Structure 1
Amino acid sequence: MEISSTRRFPVWLLVTWGVTRLALLLFVFKVWVFPGPDVTTDVSVIYHGWYETLRTGSFPHHDVTWQYPPAAALAILSPALLPFADYAHAFFDLVFLADLAVFCLLQYAGLRPGRSLRGAWMWTVGVALLGPTVYARYDVMVTAVAVAALLAGTRHPRVMGVLAGFGAMVKVWPVLLLAGALRSKAWIAAAVTAGGLAVAFALTMPGAFSFLTFQRDRGTEVESLGSLVFHVARRYGWEGEVRLNYGSVEFLGPYVDWVSGAALFLSVIAFGWLLLWRLRVRHMTPPAIADAAFVAVLVFTVTSRVISPQYMVWLVGLAAVCLCFRGSRMTVPAVLILAACLATVLEFPVYFGDVVASDPLGVTLLFVRNGLLVAATVTAARQLWLGTVTQPAPTVPPQASRTHESLAPS
């Protein structure tokens, strides 16, 4: 997938991106029909409904499906930038532009000396494998902010912090980009940005933080790792049910709280491991900063009570940034994520009916997808630990050391 010369224009990469994105647009504009349920209803019905409420200057705080930080309002309101198109079409156009921005950032980064175009290929292929669902959610917009933050992080920690703080106020998870940021500049910039936005929204729009209650009350979504317990249990007479609840299809009934609690416990364990890693880090390199962010988002995604298909966009974007660096240790996890993307588009939307019914095909696809995610998580965490904790820091050759001393200001 790599271009041998950084000076050669990556024609095939550009053509592949253009063809796959044209296909995604044809699907969301319903020129072509993608198998399974219509994935665009979230935009035309749910997002549009939120849009009408947000335009009045208030959050939809009485709607339990609104489960996002206050700056998510900016993504939902963004179609107003294209007043000549209806809401859904304007939204698809803006997501396409966000996709293009990510592609351009990764291509620019990949063409720099010592970098690789593997990241741009990862984004091109991974998003295409996920199908039209990607363009029918606002996660590409958030991922664009995250990709820009990580690419800036190696040289401009304050810029990384500002973008991570802004992204966290749009969809929380970008705060995990700071996992590998060892300079306080990035953390301070993120805190100031997020705090400023939080205060601004709290003072100007009612219901800015109602999402915290709705997130707390969520159950076990049918595509999550914990849901596999109930998919199997239904074959043996489990008396619960599957129902649309808090905006997603969830399991409700006996022992669901136990499994949700177990997922929360796993997230705490993941946080503990990340904290231990931070305390044990011996050296960090620019690739390791991106690797750490990827691992942090990966472990919290896998242990979540919800693993919606659009969550895969985050992982594809962060894996793509990792692969821009030749020294990244995330090649194998990135390949596993690509395989998980293919399994994801099959379980949703193509065979989602089988998933909801816990039919053998649907359960098998979930086992494959979630198994790949677990394998990617374990592999990525191990590689991060080996690269930053276990292996000794690279030694500086004496000649280079003398050169550095000679250049140092007196």
Structure 2
Amino acid sequence: MRSPRAARIALWLAFAAVHALVAWLGWALPNQPMGDVYLVYEPWSDRALAGERIVGITEPWVYPILALAPMLLTQALGFLGPYAIGWAVLVTACDAVAFWLLVGRARSRPRVIAAAFWLGYALLLGPIGMYRIDAVTVPLAVAGVLWLAGRPSVAGALLAAATWIKVWPAALLGSVAVASWWRARRRATGVVAGALVLTGVLVGAVAIAGGARHLLGFVATQQGRGLQIEAPAATPYLWGAVAGLDGWYPYYDRTILTFQVAGPGADAIAALMNPLLALAAVAILGVAAWKARRGAAAARLVPPAALALTLAMIVCNKVGSPQFHAWLIAPLVLWLLWDRRRAWPLAIGGLACAALTHLVYPILYGSVLAVSPLGIAVLTARNVCLVALLAWAIVRLARVPAGARGAAPRRRADPRRAAAERA
């Protein structure tokens, strides 16, 4: 077996290689995979620094207020060159901190495996995983899941901070709070307390800055969106466009700055997606709560609940942007740390989704926009993979045994459980 020192060196060399390659692909691949960074994030931060308009404070914004922080921090790296380079450096630095926490001295096999999975996923997902605001939430979420057992209040604060950048880490917060409440209440209360403290401080700061009325503006700005072409629910409309059906076509919305689909009932389906997402979230958390009350072990229950809820936020979403697939890293890392034997099939499915997403955007995006059968077929395969992964995670959640059956035999489970608790 490779020594811990050799494993650590190999992982860090792989970390550097993956991040350098993914950063370069942002420049090399077509369809501007880093376009949002210099076309949107840079102007927002420029205006904020100039004191002209501060998104989320003086006007409503599509993102939660803390998303402005990494955009402003990137401005401090202007000495490195273009804004996009500073962004790539910032994301790499954030990833490095979480990766260091994960790898440690590379003496834990689950941690080494989880670290290797993260790098493989980042490589397969490509530049969209680096050149979007979601990239900053990934290391925060990974650090949060690492500290769930030992420092739950810190974990809650980190996950809350990530939620105030992009909403998806709320899936991790909710899953941990519900699935841990009966068998690991100290963890659950610590996570909730840390999240509430961070949220209280942030809300107070925004109120002092005069932005209280725009604090939840990101919720309202999502209401008017149509059905984005990458969303799973948009797939039938894309095939209708391939078939040349009258009125079925993709178009560019200049208000939201994204490609959406038109067709019979498209607006109605878009309006139904938010209620469907809420219903799916309630159902998943309801199953987790029922299992927890019946005595299911939190270490068995939290990972499938977190993954299922995160996947529901992608599948039951009218937006469906490709960067959403970076969200799967943290719940899959958590599952690999706590129960890697059961996590492996889901992790492989996640890697397949990441690879297909990279093909869809940016490599075949022109083909998708032109409603070419090849591009739409690859996008459809990705969406089918997503739906299958969600169904699989829900089945795994439903099959978590309750009571005494929820724990593995003591003699064989102790080493693994100890590793999970240290994680």
Q: Distance in 1 between matches of 2:195 and 2:309?
A: 17
Q: Distance in 2 between matches of 1:134 and 1:351?
A: 16
Partner of 1:214: 221
Partner of 1:177: 172
Partner of 1:101: 97
% identical equivalent positions = 24
Partner of 1:17: 15
Partner of 2:116: 121
3-state SS of paired residue (2:104): helix
State the Cα deviation string for residues 129-148 of structure 1 (Å, max 9, x = none). 11122221122211111111
3-state SS of paired residue (2:79): coil
Partner of 1:191: 196
1:221 aligned partner, one-letter code:
Q
Distance 1:329 1:84, change over 3 A: same
Partner of 1:331: 344
State the Cα deviation string for residues 184-214 of structure 1 (Å, max 9, x = none). 2322321232233123213315444332221
Which has the higher mean CA deviation after the structures are superposed, 139-148 or 265-274? Answer: 265-274
1:202 aligned partner, one-letter code:
A
2:162 aligned partner, one-letter code:
G
Note the C-alpha offset of 1:287: 5.5
1:153 aligned partner, one-letter code:
L
TM-score (norm 1): 0.86
> Residue 248 in 1 paired to residue 248 in 2?
no
Pairing partner for 2:271 from 257, 261, 276: 261
State the Cα deviation string for residues 160-187 of structure 1 (Å, max 9, x = none). 2111222111111111112123222322
User: By percentage of residues, which structure has more helix?
Assistant: 2
Conservation of the 8 A alpha-carbon contact between 1:40 and 1:136 = yes
Q: Distance in 2 between matches of 1:4 and 1:295?
A: 34
What are the residue-to-residue correspondences of 1:269-280 with 2, within 5 Å? Answer: 269-277=279-287, 278-280=289-291
Q: Distance in 2 between matches of 1:118 and 1:226?
A: 34
State the Cα deviation string for residues 24-68 of structure 1 (Å, max 9, x = none). 23233x3xx22x212122111111111122222743369999410
Note the C-alpha offset of 1:384: 2.4
State the Cα deviation string for residues 323-371 of structure 1 (Å, max 9, x = none). 1234563221111110111111111111111212222111111111111
CA RMSD of aligned residues (A): 2.8
Partner of 2:390: 377
1:239 aligned partner, one-letter code:
G
What are the residue-to-residue correspondences of 1:13-52 with 2, within 5 Å? Answer: 13-28=11-26, 30=27, 33-34=28-29, 36-52=30-46
Pairing partner for 1:68 from 53, 63, 70: 63
Distance 1:189 1:13, change over 3 A: closer
Partner of 2:231: 224
Pairing partner for 1:322 from 335, 343, 349: 335
Flag structure 2 segments of 5+ consecutive residues without an equivalent: 182-187, 414-423
3-state SS of paired residue (1:376): helix
Note the C-alpha offset of 1:253: 4.8
What are the residue-to-residue correspondences of 1:120-139 with 2, within 5 Å? Answer: 120-139=115-134
Distance 1:304 1:110, change over 3 A: farther
Note the C-alpha offset of 1:72: 0.7
3-state SS of paired residue (1:306): coil
Distance 1:242 1:108, change over 3 A: same
Note the C-alpha offset of 1:5: 5.9
1:22 aligned partner, one-letter code:
A
Pairing partner for 2:308 from 295, 311, 317: 295
Note the C-alpha offset of 1:116: 4.1
Q: Distance in 2 between matches of 1:199 and 1:262?
A: 34
Q: Distance in 1 between matches of 2:207 and 2:71?
A: 18
Conservation of the 8 A alpha-carbon contact between 2:237 and 2:263 = no
Conservation of the 8 A alpha-carbon contact between 1:116 and 1:326 = no
Q: Distance in 2 between matches of 1:186 and 1:320?
A: 18
Partner of 1:141: 136
Conservation of the 8 A alpha-carbon contact between 1:64 and 1:247 = no
TM-score (norm 2): 0.84
1:80 aligned partner, one-letter code:
Q
Distance 1:394 1:322, change over 3 A: closer
Partner of 2:418: none
